[in-house]
Structure 1
C-alpha cells in the first residue's frame, strides 16, 4: 500500500513539471500495466475490489504530490526560470531513450510519425494562446471550458510514458493558471481541470491500448517526436530573463535526474 502511494506521489510531482511524464514514473515503478489495466477495467464497468483499492491508493498519492509541491514549482518558475526550464529541457533530452527503445521497428513509417509529432508540438507551442496564458484566476465561461479542454489533453501524462501532461498544459497556455489555482486553492478552476483530466485519462487509455496493439512503433515514434519538438519552446521560455549559466546548470541537472531514473528502470526490469 505505502509503495503504491509513494509512486503516486512521484507521479503527482511529475505532473507538475513540464518535460516529466507521470506515465514514465509509473513504468519505472513497475505499476504502469496495472495502472492502465485498472483504469480500463473500471471505465468499462468491470469493477473489481483490487482495482478500486489500487486506484484509490495511487490517486491519493498523486493528489498529495500535486498539492504538496505546487507552491514550490510556482515560486521556482517565477524566481529562477532559466534554471527550471534548463532542468525541464534536460529531463526531456534524457528521457528520449526511454521512448526510443520502445520503437520496435524504426522504419520510414516510424520516422514519418516522429517528424509529424515534432512539427505538431512545435507549431502548437508557437500558436498556443489559451485563456490561461497570463495565469489570471478568472471564472468566465470561456476560461472554464478551456480548463476542461486543456485538462483533457494534459491527462495524457497519466497514461503515456514519455509524454508530459504538464508540458501539454504549458504549450496550451494553461500551465501557469493551473499552478496558480493549486497554490491559491481555487477549487472552481481545479474542478474544471479535473473533469477534463478524468475524461482524458479514460479516453486516452482506451485509445492507446488500441494504437499500441496495432501501431506500436509508429505510436512511440510520434511520442518521441513530441518530446523532441518541445525543446525549442522550453529553451526559449525564460525570454528576456534568460541566464545562460543557469540554463546550463539546469540542463546538466535534468540529464543527471533522467540518468538516475533510467538506472531505476533497469533495476526494475
Structure 2
C-alpha cells in the first residue's frame, strides 16, 4: 500500500511537469501492467475490489503529489519563467525521438497529419483565444466549459506514449489556471477539469488505442506535429521578459532529463509478445 501511494506521489509531481508522462513513472515503479489492467477494467465498467483499491491508493498519492508540489511549480514559473519554459521546451525536444520511433513509414497522409498538428497548436498558441492565459481563476460558464474540454483532451491524449497531460494543458493555455486552482483550492475549477479527465479516460481512451493500431503512422505524425509546433510558443512564452541566460540552460537541462527518463524507461519496459 505505502509503495503504491509513494509511486502515486511521484506520478502527481510528474503530471505537473509538461513533457513528463505520469505513465512513465508508473512504468519505472513496476506498476505498469497493474495500472493498465485496472484502467482497462474501469473503462469497461468492470469493478473488481482489488483493482479499485489499487487505483484508489495510486490516485490518493497523485492528489498528495499535486497538492505538495503545485506551489513550487507556480513559484518557479513566477520567479524564473525563462528557466522553466526552457526546461519544458527541452523535455518536449527530448521526447521527439520517442515519437519518431513509432512512425514506421512517413506517407503523404502522415505528412498531412503532421501539418495539421503543427497548424493546430500554433493557431492555439498565437491566436490569443485561450482563456486560461488571460483569466486564471475566473468563474464563468465559458471558462468552466473550457476547463472541461481541456481536462477531457488532456486525459484522452495521455493514452499516447510520450505525451503528458500537463503538456496538453500547456498547449491549450490551461496549465497556469490549473496550477493556480490547485494552490487556491478552487474546487469549482478543479471539479470541471476533473470531470473532463474522467470523461477523457473512460470515453476516448479506447478510440485512441484503436487509432494507434489502425492508423499508427498518422496518429504519431499528428502528435509529432503538436510537439514541433509547440516549440516556438514555449521559447517565446515569456515575451520581452525572456532571459537567454536562463532559457538556454533550461532547454539543455530539459533535454538531458528527457534522455534520462527514456534510458530508465527502456531498462524497466515490460517484456511481452514473445520479445
Q: TM-score, normalised by structure 1?
A: 0.90
Alignment RMSD, CA only?
Answer: 2.1
Q: Residues of 1 paired with 2:78 and 2:47: CA distance?
A: 44
Range 50-59 or range 2-11, more displaced = 2-11
> How does 1:66-105 map onto structure 2 within 5 Å?
66-105=66-105
Residues 104, 56 of structure 1: alpha-carbon distance in 2 compared, 3 angstrom cutoff: farther
The structural deviation recorded for 1:94 is: 0.7
Deviations 1:116-174 (A, max 9, x none): 22222122212252333234323222222222122111223543222232232223222
Contact preservation (8 Å) 1:88, 1:234 = yes
Aligned residue in 1 for 2:60: 60
The structural deviation recorded for 1:76 is: 0.5
Long gaps (5+) in structure 2: 270-275
> How does 1:236-247 map onto structure 2 within 5 Å?
236-247=236-247
Residues 98, 31 of structure 1: alpha-carbon distance in 2 compared, 3 angstrom cutoff: farther
Q: Residues of 2 paired with 1:33 and 1:98: CA distance?
A: 20
> How does 1:41-190 map onto structure 2 within 5 Å?
41-156=41-156, 158-190=158-190
> How does 1:242-257 map onto structure 2 within 5 Å?
242-257=242-257
Aligned residue in 2 for 1:212: 212
The structural deviation recorded for 1:258 is: 0.8
Contact preservation (8 Å) 2:88, 2:234 = yes
The structural deviation recorded for 1:249 is: 0.9
The structural deviation recorded for 1:103 is: 2.4
Contact preservation (8 Å) 1:114, 1:222 = yes
Residues 231, 172 of structure 1: alpha-carbon distance in 2 compared, 3 angstrom cutoff: same
Q: TM-score, normalised by structure 2?
A: 0.88
- Does 2:22 correspond to 1:22? yes
Contact preservation (8 Å) 1:83, 1:250 = yes
Contact preservation (8 Å) 1:12, 1:22 = yes
Say which SS state the counterpart of residue 17 (structure 1) adopts.
Answer: coil
Residues 99, 32 of structure 1: alpha-carbon distance in 2 compared, 3 angstrom cutoff: farther
Long gaps (5+) in structure 1: none
The structural deviation recorded for 1:92 is: 0.5
The structural deviation recorded for 1:236 is: 0.6
The structural deviation recorded for 1:217 is: 2.5
Contact preservation (8 Å) 1:87, 1:251 = yes
Range 88-97 or range 125-134, more displaced = 125-134
Q: Residues of 2 paired with 1:265 and 1:171: CA distance?
A: 25
